[in-house]
Amino acid sequence: MRYQWVLLLTLVGVVGCKNTTKQADNQPLKSGIVVLGIAQDAGFPQADCKKDCCQAAWLDPSLRRHASCLALYDSLKNQFWLFEATPDIKFQMDRFKKMAPEVSLSGIFLTHAHIGHYTGLMHFGHEVMGAKELPVFAMPRMRSFLSENGPWSQLVDYKNIDLQKLNADSTVILNERFSVMPFRVPHRDEFSETVGYKIMTPKKSYLFIPDIDKWHLWKRDIIDEIAEVDVAFLDGTFFANGEIPGRDMSQIPHPFMEESMELFRDLPKGEKAKIHFIHFNHTNPTLQIGSEARAEILGAGFEVAEEGNHY
Ligand SMILES: [Zn+2]
Ligand SMILES: [Zn+2]
Ligand SMILES: [Zn+2]
């Protein structure tokens, strides 16, 4: 009996100190963020990858992961907003609607014009859902890119989507309790600028930076930004340098997770526990459940974002 209580208290303690909960099937969903994708743009496994990294995921669908995406949910109004329109959006919306039945999509926030972050918009067009004026929040270059290039321009012309203006560092009020602030981050801006988001709700605030070149190239201090939120979803694309043999990784810069962990090494435990890595490339050993890399991250006090988890 005593052992059972100790066990129960231990479990409560573990759950209580984390910023994450696994959503129970029979409980109504609470307001907050649900993670709907944790992989890099190409998803996991990656097209045509025959290497060890993707082998198990080709064979076992339960190991597959979608491109990075968050759902922001307001339980009072039964509304949600997506952060990113990924190529996997139909599965992600389906998953979310099973968690929050009758919910309605109130808008989509885009970070930039790399394929994993906006191409899911195609599902709102004439050939699929035929959406009516779905608000899509995007920065100026991103808006021009969508309105001036097919097939995206058709979504604008047919009013399937209604492009909403975003300006860096200025807050978008979603309703009396929820707001969102975009901020610029350095990244390969071929077709659009790139932003991250700060998301504010009455109970928690969140940081979402799925893509950034390197922390030191940013005009802001990531450590200060983490201090201001409860949960930070941060770029974990690559674990370490040399991860993609035969490709010059300086051409596809991201903060290696090894570098990030070094940068955050001396943060207090509570600050480290806010950091949830996301946006994993198929080569990143973090995606392999039993890997040493994953054990190292968790052992150092950091977290790994998981699909279906509520934050
Ligand atoms: Zn990306
Ligand atoms: Zn692979
Ligand atoms: Zn990108």
Q: Which two tokens stand for residue 125?
A: 């067009």
CA of 114 to the centre of ligand 1 (A): 6
Structure confidence at residue 248 as a pLDDT band (50, 70, 90):
confident
Please give the Cα distance from 197 to 158 (Å, whole number): 28
Please give the Cα distance from 176 to 258 (Å, whole number): 40
Dihedral class, residue 78 (left if φ above 0, else alpha if ψ from -120 to 50, else beta): left
pLDDT digits (tens, 9 = 90+) for 130-183: 999 999 999 999 999 999 999 999 999 999 999 999 999 999 999 999 999 999
Ligand nearest to the CA of 237: 1
H-type alpha helices, the chain? 2-16, 52-59, 89-99, 115-118, 140-148, 152-157, 222-227, 257-263, 269-272, 292-299
Query: How many residues are present in the chain?
Result: 311
Q: What is the pTM of this model?
A: 0.93
pLDDT digits (tens, 9 = 90+) for 2-34: 444 444 444 433 444 466 766 666 789 999 999
Cα end-to-end distance, the chain, whole Å: 32
Ligand nearest to the CA of 117: 1
For the domain made up of 27-305, give the CATH fold.
Answer: Metallo-beta-lactamase; Chain A (3.60.15)
Share above pLDDT 90 across residues of the chain, in percent, rounded to a whole number? 89
CA of 37 to the centre of ligand 3 (A): 15
